[in-house]
Amino acid sequence: MPLTDTRLRALKPKDKPYKVTDERGLYVEVTPTGGKLWRFRYRIGGAQKKLCIGSYPEISLKQARDVAYEARRAVASTPQARAVTSGHQSLIPVEKDLREGAVADPPEKDFGEFEPDM
């Protein structure tokens, strides 16, 4: 269930930090001191990563969702994310393929002297 502003204000600190999810990787982490921190969780290359957005109420729910949306678009446009084809479970980092020589350079061709027609 997506978060609401009322539910965010009602979150109380506990002995240990805990997370309350919103949607699509966005969540708020409530610290034992009462801080409410926005986080966005995503994966690249099979590794889980976390983006720290800011604290509530300085960053509103709408602002946090907007930042998470832009971050999701940025992650999707990375070369690692584009290398994924449907049906595969894990991402294959493009840099790793290049280092290991899995992606070959196109053969060099000599076209001689080329003059464009004008």
pLDDT tens, the chain, 118 aa long: 789 999 999 999 999 999 999 999 999 999 999 999 999 999 887 889 999 999 999 999 999 999 999 999 988 888 776 555 334 443 334 444 444 444 444 445 555 554 555 5
pTM above 0.75, yes or no: no
DSSP string, 16-75: S-EEEE-STTEEEEE-TTS-EEEEEEEEETTEEEEEEEEEETTS-HHHHHHHHHHHHHHH
According to the model, what pLDDT value does residue 28 have?
97
**Encoded tokens for 70:** 């832009």
Residue 93 zone, left/alpha/beta (φ > 0; ψ -120 to 50; rest): beta
Contact criterion met (CB below 8 Å) for 50 and 41: yes
User: Residue 1 has what pLDDT?
Assistant: 79
